[in-house]
């Protein structure tokens, strides 16, 4: 029972990132990255890597070689749910409307000054 709970906790903090072929090859050439595998800090498959995102030290090492910060931002953008996306689209539409109103008022004020 305890083992199953530990597995659940580990999986809930698990992060998977797709790698380029060049990034995958770093794991054969860089001893620091090889140590992460041998210490079971990361799991490398064909074209992705899985690690515990709560492990700050591992995340820092990966970020040095793989620029994890940018990759996680891309994944975040992909994970925005449809409701959140709809809300963002509505806000963007409203901003455009406000910009048009502002431009119109500014144009009117410029005409009055002349």
Is a pLDDT exceeding 70 seen at residue 108? yes
CA distances from 102 to 8, 83, 89 (A): 53, 29, 20
Q: What are the tens digits of pLDDT across the range 47-83?
A: 888 888 888 898 889 888 887 655 544 455 555 556 6
Q: CB of 15 within 8 A of CB of 50?
A: yes
In angstroms, rounded to a whole number, what is the distance separating the alpha carbons of residues 46 and 27? 12
Q: What are the tens digits of pLDDT across the range 94-106?
A: 999 999 999 898 8
Whole-prediction pTM value? 0.51
Looking at residue 83, its pLDDT comes to 64
Percent of the chain at pLDDT above 70? 74
């Amino acid at each position: 029972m305890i083992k199953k709970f530990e597995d659940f906790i580990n999986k809930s903090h698990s992060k998977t990132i797709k790698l380029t072929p060049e990034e995958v090859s770093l794991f054969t050439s860089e001893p620091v990255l090889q140590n992460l595998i041998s210490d079971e800090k990361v799991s490398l498959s064909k074209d992705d890597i899985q690690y515990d995102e709560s492990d700050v030290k591992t995340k820092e090492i990966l970020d040095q070689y793989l620029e994890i910060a940018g990759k996680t931002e891309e994944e975040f953008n992909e994970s925005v749910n449809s409701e959140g996306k709809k809300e963002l689209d509505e806000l963007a539409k409203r901003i455009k409307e406000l910009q048009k109103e502002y431009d119109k008022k500014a144009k009117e004020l410029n005409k009055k000054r002349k």
